[in-house]
Amino acid sequence: MKRSHTGAPPWPTMVEASLDEAKLQQLLNDWQHHATLLAVRQKGAATTHAAENNPAELAAAVHALRTRSCRAIQVEYLFEGVSWTDTLFAVALGYRLIRCRHDPPR
């Protein structure tokens, strides 16, 4: 993580990717079998707050995204001792993923 020029807390490391249905399925498998889910949220519209679901309801949140019943889902999880937040948006041709790594403060 890099420190901001103002001395504020560092920005988390972020990456972006486009996913097709096969890559989405691979991501779901990774979340379910290799991560510890902490929270799942659904975003219904641009001006609404995300509704938090039990992590066990990941399948329902993904179904809502696939059917376009929600605009995006956000999944918070731990992987190899590091905290991550993935935000997955439904777009015209598949899905857009923004992944954020939350490194512990130094």
What is the arithmetic mean of pLDDT over 60-70? 91
Tell me, yes or no, if the pTM score tops 0.95.
no
Burial 23-60 (b: 16+ CB within 10 A, else e): ebeebeeebeeebebeebbbbeeeeeebeebebeebee
Residue with more model confidence, 11 or 22: 22
- DSSP track, 51-86: EEE-GGGHHHHHHHHHTTSSSEEEEEEEETTEEEEE
Beta-ladder partners of 79: 82
Tokens 């605009």 sit on residue: 71
Whole-number pLDDT of residue 1: 46
What is the arithmetic mean of pLDDT over 20-33? 94
